[in-house]
């Protein structure tokens, strides 16, 4: 007899930051669709000029390409360009979701600020770079959770919110002041929301990835530099994949995960602490 996760049929999942080909958001969307959910996908509407070379090569179309994959699975998909740092954009997203599907059951807060100008010491961190990371990572999680948890509560059938955090919340490494701060705060917000929303049968958890092979980390050269990083820090000897993260997210949304809430679960292959120099 096979073991099957249940609790997805007729359910609707919203995944933010779901448009990149090599990513975490896309595998989460596909996994939940395979489990039985209809899917709402959000992205920033980035210009094709900003796509990585592998996306350009295959004619990638951001969230529209992911929506096509979901429809091929046999589920409905609604791709929507949305700005998670803008409460009005989120209100519109919620209205479009309810108009199309009539309900929402699972929210995956996966959108994140791009790596870039924020990866410097605090004394060199610009106010604009700091604010961008706060607005997308932390404020975006709050705005999305606030709007969609209220809808789930009004439906009266429970639900699940998964906040995609990061191992950075534990490592607290130099030059990650803005990013790591948002992830520490996200973990705390998750615990608070779990306590507040528990009576409404809405579960709230953090999934915190370690080093995952995505286009987000394309600034780290592949080859010897990448291999040395992986072998130095990851006990299991390989970088993670988006599917590794998607498996846990799917479980936490399932009936089988219904007694898990308020947790921060690190999916990192046994990442070792950063060695002291």
pLDDT tens-place string over residues 58-90:
999 999 999 999 999 999 999 999 999 999 999
| Helix (H) / strand (E) containing 205 | strand 202-209
d(CA 116, CA 21): 20
Task: Show the domains of the chain with their CATH numbers.
Answer: 12-267 (3.40.50.720)
d(CA 114, CA 119): 10
d(CA 259, CA 256): 8
User: What is the pLDDT, as a whole number, of residue 140?
Assistant: 98
159-178 residue pLDDT tens:
999 999 999 999 999 999 99
User: What is the pLDDT, as a whole number, of residue 217?
Assistant: 86
Candidates 194, 229, 187, 193; CA nearest to 208 is 187
* 209 backbone dihedrals φ, ψ, rounded to 5°: -75, 155
Average pLDDT of 120-139? 97
Catalytic choice (3, 51, 179, 266) = 179
Average pLDDT of 28-49? 96
User: What is the pLDDT, as a whole number, of residue 137?
Assistant: 98
Residue 208, both tokens: 């915190």
Quote the mean pLDDT of the chain.
Answer: 95
d(CA 276, CA 270): 18
182-230 residue pLDDT tens:
999 999 999 999 999 999 999 999 999 999 999 988 888 898 999 999 9
pLDDT score of 124 more than 50: yes
User: What is the pLDDT, as a whole number, of residue 154?
Assistant: 98
User: What is the pLDDT, as a whole number, of residue 276?
Assistant: 43
Model confidence band, residue 274 (pLDDT cutoffs 50, 70, 90): low
Asked if 42 and 85 count as a contact pair (C-beta separation under 8 A), the reply is no
User: What is the pLDDT, as a whole number, of residue 277?
Assistant: 39
Catalytic status, residue 51: no
Question: pTM score, two decimals?
Answer: 0.95
pLDDT score of 39 more than 80: yes
41 CB burial (10 A radius; 0-12, 13-18, 19+) = buried
Parallel, antiparallel, or unpaired: how do β-strands 38-43 and 264-267 relate?
Answer: unpaired
Asked if 32 and 8 count as a contact pair (C-beta separation under 8 A), the reply is yes
User: What is the pLDDT, as a whole number, of residue 32?
Assistant: 98
d(CA 159, CA 252): 10
Residue 48, both tokens: 């094709």
User: What is the pLDDT, as a whole number, of residue 51?
Assistant: 92
- Distance between terminal CA atoms of the chain? 52
Parallel, antiparallel, or unpaired: how do β-strands 159-164 and 202-209 relate?
Answer: parallel
pLDDT score of 272 more than 80: no
Per DSSP, the three-state class of 164 is strand
């Amino acid at each position: 007899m096979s073991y099957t996760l249940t609790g997805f049929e007729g359910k609707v999942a919203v995944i933010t930051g779901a448009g990149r080909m090599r990513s975490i958001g896309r595998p989460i969307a596909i996994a939940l669709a395979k489990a039985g959910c209809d899917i709402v996908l959000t992205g920033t509407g980035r210009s094709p000029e900003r796509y990585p070379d592998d996306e350009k090569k295959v004619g990638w179309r951001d969230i529209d390409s992911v929506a096509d994959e979901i429809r091929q699975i046999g589920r409905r998909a609604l791709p929507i360009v949305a700005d998670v740092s803008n409460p009005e954009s989120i209100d519109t997203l919620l209205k479009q979701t309810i108009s199309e599907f009539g309900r929402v059951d699972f929210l995956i807060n996966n959108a994140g600020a791009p790596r870039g100008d924020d990866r410097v010491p605090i004394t060199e961190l610009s106010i604009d770079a700091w604010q961008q990371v706060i607005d997308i990572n932390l404020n975006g999680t709050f705005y999305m959770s606030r709007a969609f948890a209220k809808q789930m509560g009004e439906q009266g059938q429970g639900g699940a919110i998964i906040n995609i955090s990061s191992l950075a919340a534990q490592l607290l490494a130099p030059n990650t002041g803005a990013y790591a701060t948002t992830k520490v705060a996200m973990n705390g917000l998750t615990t608070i929301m779990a306590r507040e929303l528990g009576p409404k049968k809405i579960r709230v958890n953090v999934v915190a990835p370690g080093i995952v092979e995505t286009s987000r980390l394309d600034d780290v050269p592949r080859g010897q530099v990448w291999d040395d990083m992986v072998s130095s820090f990851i006990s299991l000897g390989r970088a993670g994949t988006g599917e590794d993260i998607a498996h846990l997210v799917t479980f936490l949304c399932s009936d089988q995960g219904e007694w898990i809430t308020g947790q921060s679960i690190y999916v990192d292959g046994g990442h070792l602490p950063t060695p002291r120099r």
